[in-house]
A = this chain, B = another copy of it.
Amino acid sequence: MTLSLRERRRQQTAHDIQLATLDLAVQKGLENVTTEEIAAAAGISTRTFFNYYTNKEAAAVGAPPAFTEAAKEALRDGSGPLADDLKLFLDQHVAALTKDEPILKMIGTVLRSNEKARGILQGFLIMERRELTECLSHRVQNPQAAAALASNTTDAVGRAIVLWEHEENLSLSAALDVVWEGTIAAAALLTSTS
């Protein structure tokens, strides 16, 4: 668990760069920020910036928290109603996101106006969906159903974040509750035959 000095410094620098990037991006829009400025603000050389991130959009997005092994196992081996187990899984993931709310808000700002940043985030989301699909295929026979559930689930996180950004006075986990209710309602509508 204890990281070496090198590792810790690396993570620290990566984090510093992300903060510097988001800070400048929120002020002037990421398009109008140069890598040179970011590097200066983070106290490193331009060349070093590119040793950490391939571009400023990746620096803004950073590395989103991964699913924990524990949460994945609980989902794979769970025995409750699927909807409940998925909700528990999501609650854990959203709790991890909540650790860094200010950063999350800033990333949201950037994503709204930057295509490249959206693409990078989507790369992470695709990997998350793959992980989830794999988990779910232990409980669901139909692989397309597993994929659909995984999409539903990761989409719910995205919609919860959007809702949370719009509504002041709504915590992220409360937003997830609202969104999840909508997801279940949508499922009911899809299965009803009238």
Binding site for B on A (CB under 8 A): 81-83, 86, 114-120, 122-123, 140, 142-149, 151-152, 155-156, 159, 163, 178-179, 181-194
Provide the bound-state CA to CA distance between A185 and B142, in Å.
8
Residues of B within 8 A of A163 (CB): 144
**Distance in Å from the Cβ of A46 to the closest Cβ of chain B?**
21
**By the criterion CB–CB under 8 Å, are B83 and A191 in contact?**
yes
Q: Can you give 23 contacting A-B residue pairs, CB < 8 Å? A: A81-B193, A81-B194, A82-B190, A115-B119, A118-B119, A119-B122, A122-B122, A140-B186, A143-B182, A144-B178, A144-B183, A145-B182, A145-B185, A145-B186, A146-B186, A147-B182, A148-B152, A148-B179, A152-B186, A184-B190, A187-B187, A187-B190, A187-B191
Provide the bound-state CA to CA distance between A89 and B125, in Å.
27
The residue of chain B having its C-beta at the shortest distance from the C-beta of A188 within the complex is B191
Which secondary structure dominates chain A's binding surface? helix
**By the criterion CB–CB under 8 Å, are A181 and B118 in contact?**
no
Residues of B within 8 A of A187 (CB): 148, 186-188, 190-191
CB contact between A115 and one of B120, B145, B178 (< 8 Å): that residue: B120
Provide the bound-state CA to CA distance between A192 and B192, in Å.
12
11 other A-B residue contacts (CB within 8 Å) besides A144-B183, A148-B183, A149-B186: A83-B190, A116-B119, A119-B120, A140-B185, A145-B185, A146-B182, A146-B186, A148-B155, A152-B152, A183-B190, A187-B188
**By the criterion CB–CB under 8 Å, are B179 and A144 in contact?**
yes
Residues of B within 8 A of A186 (CB): 140, 144-146, 148-149, 152, 187
